Structure 1
């Protein structure tokens, strides 16, 4: 991350649900590819939803805030 400049790409999303139930444990992953800086990052804050959810468990009054911040590297050769 850079304190010198804001991210070149910033994506934020919020989801809310009264009830949420998974039939199986999801496999979740975020891959940042391309010309982004090594400091590019993603993360989430959750309310009433653990990092690893359990199958067939009902979670109530949930909220997930997700953020992806990316700094784009300038190309080495502008041609």
Structure 2
């Protein structure tokens, strides 16, 4: 996201939650330019840039078994 000017009338309340199947390892990361991690109400921030990433790694609970006959099309 990019903004020439950004101001919050109220201090924002944020919360990130992940739900789903066990075995997932989510990771979020944001890189901010000209915007602190904790913003203040009424302050005008200029030339703001936010890059947000969400990654999800699936960790198998048991080794995967490949049916080579089905993969190769052999019966």
Under a length normalisation based on structure 1, what TM-score does the superposition of the two structures give?
0.68
Which position in structure 2 is the counterpart of 1:32? 18
Unmatched runs of 5 consecutive residues or more in structure 1:
1-14
- The count of aligned residue pairs is 62
Q: How far apart, CA to CA, are the structure 1 residues paired with 2:34 and 2:40?
A: 13
Q: Paired residue for 1:11?
A: none
Query: Greater Rg, structure 1 or structure 2?
Result: 2
Structure 1 counterpart of 2:58: 72
Comparing 16-25 with 27-36, greater Cα deviation is found at 27-36
* Per-residue deviation, 1:55: 0.1
Q: CA-atom RMSD, angstroms?
A: 2.0
Give TM-score, length-normalised by structure 2. 0.71
Greater relative contact order (Cα < 8 A, sep 6+): 1
Q: Find 1:51's aligned residue among 31, 34, 37.
A: 37
Partner of 1:41: 27
Match of 2:9 among 20, 23, 26: 23
